[in-house]
Amino acid sequence: MKKYILLFLLAGIALGLRLYRLDARGLITDEKFTLVNSNGFWVGGANQSAFRKDVFTAADFWEKKGIQDYMDATAHADFGTHIVHNAVMHYWMKIFGNSDFSVRLPGALFNVITVLLLFLMVLKYFGSYRMAFLAGLLLAVDPLNVAQSHIARSYPLSFFLILLSTEYFIRIVREGGSAKNFIIYALLTGLSMLNHYINFFVPLVHIVAFLALRNKAHLWRGFIAAAVFNAALLFYWFNWGGGYTAMDFLKDKNELHRKIAENEHDELSGTIQKATPELIAKKAIGLYYDITVLGHGLFEKIKGVRVFLSSFLFFWAVMMAIRYKKNPWIRFGSVGLALLILALQMEYITGILVSGAIFAILYFGWQALRESYALEAEKGRFVLLLAGFLLLILPILFVVNDAFTNGNTTSLTHRYIGNASPFVVILIAVGMVRAADFRFSFLLWMAFAVIVQAGSIRLALKDYFADRSVYNAWFQPARVSNPYKKVAGELMSKAMPGDTIVIPGAYRDKYEERFRKNVEISYKDAQFLNLYFPKDFILPQVVDPREREKLYLKRKNGEKVLIFDFKGEEYRY
């Protein structure tokens, strides 16, 4: 009964945060790409015959597309990623429509299911309700996961797939590899990597765990077969599937971003920054804190690498005082060092104490990992803890290397490390419970960190729902409900026989104006608007190549009625 009460409580918290204001704000650009790609249309309309006509209707827009259209649409907008999510969305929208609430709901549900799966896995392999509930709670209130659940994109599905594939990996190494488990594991791994390439870290962790475990020789054949299957799948995908543009796309994008970042007078350099060691170090530390959830926003409190290092030295001094408590010189020297650090960094004392608590949590997590490796029966614990440590480190190292290699910091963003969050919270939950059980003073230390950071997480969620968050870009003013859907509804209610819809076709965002000067007319507004027209809406439409902002309804007598002014980026998001 206790298990089901805790599951119900976690489901309520996770679902409440993910359904709250789910459709209160219009879709951002990436979400619009999801809707367009999920219908087999290229962003920009290059594969739609409707835009090769001077006058077209919604029926022309909704022409039927084949498999290759879906592949090409994904290849040209998302360089081959998100395809599994887009396939889910294609059939989901056929049943439930494409309102903002509907298209965001699958991500919210996948994330809630991930929270519950996480709870069950921790309870199963660690046998602790405290650890299981704490891990589930951390994921449920994680601002990054809440934000990703409000965006019609593939990330919540990725989190679910990689966690479930890890469950099957553990089943194989604990129970022996049945053909059924190997097949399910291979499929889940393949789907997760097709959904987004960055998910390759998880099977990499599985390889490391498999090589570290003992008594596994009988499983080699099955894992080799799973690896061959996934290698063949990705080989096909990158050569003939939706990922055939991926490498060229990334190369071109990185070159453009490098040029922008290096030109300090470029107006786009404010968002695409030049990679310097100092900036990379600061952003990497910020990602480290945010991915642990408990440290969310902590870098804003410690304000630099120096204080971060001070917090580690403080933690080290505390642990040395405990470890060498029978040696008065080391013990009192360590206590003196810890107090000296706090005295010298008095204005950052709260941040140092919380940061030091996270180091302590990781230390006790490491102790749990070492213990679980020594026990053959605890393979599940070992895999989950090892995954927590590796995924705390590897994704950050990956994006840091990318920043140094490509000369800009665009890769140092949360969405590229978010797949680590389900595993890192397990590590944090285990380490925190063990630290609190170690001695009463550590229990107070952990409680202090939780109380302080609960306020930080609450503020982060408040900022997100106010549309002022790094997790969904910063909108000022905040977005309103979907402008395209509103305009479509108004047109359908006001239009009369003989009217024509005149859609702006001259707008380019700053990026397009700089790098896509060969585009003579933009069909994006027409694409996004027609998503909300039924297929039998027969009113003729034209795209005006000279109009940037205003959408009109042109009457039969030539009168133009202004329906909406997009005002540049203000309503295009």
- pLDDT digit string, tens, across residues 343-367: 999 999 999 999 999 999 999 999 9
Kindly state the DSSP code that residue 142 receives in the 8-state scheme. -
Please report the pLDDT score of residue 266 as a whole number.
67
Tell me, yes or no, whether 335 lies in a domain. Answer: yes
Kindly state whether residue 347 falls inside one of the protein's structural domains.
yes
Q: What pLDDT band is residue 471 in, cutting at 50, 70 and 90?
A: confident
Structure confidence at residue 286 (pLDDT): 94
Q: Do 459 and 491 fall into the same domain? A: no
pLDDT of residue 431 exceeding 90, the answer is yes
Quick check: 430 and 369 in contact, CB under 8 A? no
Average pLDDT over residues 483-499: 96
Structural domain total, the chain: 3
Query: Would the pLDDT of 7 be above 80?
Result: yes
Same structural domain for residues 424 and 381? yes
The answer to whether residues 429 and 292 belong to one domain is: yes
The answer on 290 and 166 residing in a single domain is: no
Walk across the sheet containing 560-565 and list its strands: 541-544, 500-504, 550-554, 560-565
* 215 domain residue, yes or no: yes
pLDDT at 177: 81
In a domain, 194, yes or no: yes
Query: How does pLDDT run across 16-25, given as a tens digit for each residue?
Result: 999 999 999 9
- Same domain, yes or no, for 325 and 427? yes
State whether 296 and 356 are in the same domain: yes
| E strands present in 221-278 | none
Statement: residue 199 has pLDDT above 80:
yes
- Render pLDDT for 311-349 as a digit per residue (tens, 0 to 9): 999 999 999 999 998 899 999 999 999 999 999 999 999
Structure tokens, 130:
């405290």
pLDDT band at 517, cuts 50/70/90?
low
| Overall average pLDDT of the 285-303 stretch | 92
Taking each helix axis from N to C end, the angle separating 129-141 and 421-438, rounded to the nearest 10 degrees, works out to 130
Confidence band of 474 (pLDDT split at 50, 70, 90) = confident
Phi, psi dihedrals of residue 503, rounded to the nearest 5°: -105, 135
Q: Indicate if 417 and 532 belong to the same structural domain.
A: no
Q: Which residues contact 143 (CB under 8 A, 6 or more apart)?
A: 290, 296, 457, 460, 461, 464, 469, 471
pLDDT tens for each residue of 164-181: 999 999 999 998 889 999
Q: Residue 566's pLDDT is what?
A: 97
Q: Look over the chain and give the mean of its residue pLDDT values, rounded to a whole number.
A: 94
DSSP bridge partners of 550? 565
% of the chain exceeding 90 in pLDDT? 83
Q: Is 67 a domain residue?
A: no
Structure tokens at 145: 């996961």
Distance CA 393, CA 420 (A): 9
Give the pLDDT confidence score for residue 317 in this predicted structure: 97
Quick check: 515 pLDDT over 70? no
> What residues are paired with 500 via a beta bridge?
554
Which of 292, 348, 307, 28 lies closest to 144 in space, CA to CA?
292
Average confidence (pLDDT) over 428-448: 98
Answer with the one of 436, 465, 494 that is the final residue of a domain: 465
Mean pLDDT over 206-227 rounds to: 91
Domain identity same for 355 and 435: yes
Of 193-197, 213-217, 279-283, which gets the smallest average pLDDT?
A: 213-217
Residues of the chain above pLDDT 70, percent: 98
Q: Is residue 128 part of a domain?
A: no
pLDDT at 345: 93
- Look at residues 162, 125, 80 and name the one whose alpha carbon lies nearest to residue 417: 162
**Are 221 and 279 in the same domain?**
no
Q: What is the mean pLDDT of residues 420-425?
A: 97
Question: What tens digit of pLDDT does each residue of 540-556 get?
Answer: 999 999 999 999 999 99
Asked whether residue 299 is assigned to any structural domain, the reply reads yes
Among 244, 267, 296, the domain-final residue is: 244
From 448, 429, 450, select the one nearest 368 (Cα to Cα).
Answer: 429
Higher pLDDT, 264 or 295: 295
pLDDT of residue 79: 87
For the ranges 43-57, 162-176, 245-259, 411-425, the lowest mean pLDDT is seen at 245-259
Is 497 found in the same domain as 386?
no
Q: Which residue has the tokens 């042109």?
A: 554
Q: Does any domain span residue 217?
A: yes
Are 404 and 302 within one domain?
yes
506 is in which domain, residue-wise?
483-565
Assign 214 a pLDDT band (cuts: 50, 70, 90).
confident
pLDDT in tens, 37-51: 999 999 999 999 999
Q: Are residues 203 and 309 in the same domain?
A: no
